A and B are shown apart, each in its own frame.
Chain A
C-alpha cells in the first residue's frame, strides 16, 4: 500500500518570503500522480498543484512550484512571495495511475502560518 509522509507538522514564514513544504511517499508503482491541496480554516479542500510522475519537468502554478524527485520519492511544494491568504493546512496526496485505483492517499498535513 502507498503511504505519504509530511514530516513538518507546522511551518511559518514571513510575508513575501519563500517557504518549502516537504513530502515523501512510498510506492512500488512507476506511474502515478501527485497533488498538493490547501485547506484554509473554512475547511474547503482546494487543489494547488499537480504533477504526473512520467513528466520530468516540475509543475508550476503562479507562485507555487514543486520539486519532484522521483528516485528519492520526494515531492516538495515551494511557495514564493508568501501572502497572508496562503495560511492554511497543506496536504500532499498520491494517486495511482492504475485504471480504477482512483483514491487519493493523503499525508498528515503541514500547518502553514504567515507572519505579517
Chain B
C-alpha cells in the first residue's frame, strides 16, 4: 500500500525559472495539503485541495504560487519566477474523505518532501 509519493525528491532551479512539485496521494485519499518548511522551522500550511477544487489557500503567497489537483493525475504545486527565498522543503500530505462528525481526527499522511534549492 503505497504512501504519499512526492517527486522530485530534490529540485534545483535558477532564479527566474519555474518549479513544479508533484504529489500523488495515498490510494483512496481525496484531500491533499501542501506545507512549506524553512530550515530549522516548523511546517507552514499553504493550500488544501480536493479533486478539482481549492478549499483553502490562505497560506499561499498571492503571487507566483499556484496549486491544482486535477480529476486525473497528481496534485501540482507550481512556483513561477523562483527567488532565493523560495528555497525550502515542500511537503504534501493526504487524508481520506469522511463526512459527518468526528472527521477532523483523520490523520494527514505525509510524503517525504521535495527539497527545492534556488541558485
Residues on the A chain within 8 Å of B109, using CB: 47
The answer to whether B95 and A102 touch across the interface, beta carbons within 8 angstroms, is yes
Stretch of A12-20, A62-70, A92-100 at the chain-chain interface: A92-100
From residue B99, how far is it (CB to closest CB) to chain A in Å?
9
B91 CB–A CB distance under 8 Å: yes
Cα distance, A50 to B95, chains bound together (Å): 15
Known contacts A101-B56, A102-B33, A102-B55; A47/B107 CB under 8 A: yes
Cα distance, A105 to B59, chains bound together (Å): 11
* Interface residues in A1-55 (C-beta closer than 8 Å to B): 4, 6, 32-33, 35, 37, 42-47, 50, 52
The answer to whether A35 and B107 touch across the interface, beta carbons within 8 angstroms, is yes
| Binary flags per residue of B86-108, CB closer than 8 Å to A gives 1, else 0 | 00010101010000001111011
Instruction: Spell out B's residues near A (CB within 8 Å).
Output: 31, 33, 35, 40-45, 48, 55-56, 58-59, 89, 91, 93, 95, 102-105, 107-110, 112-113, 115
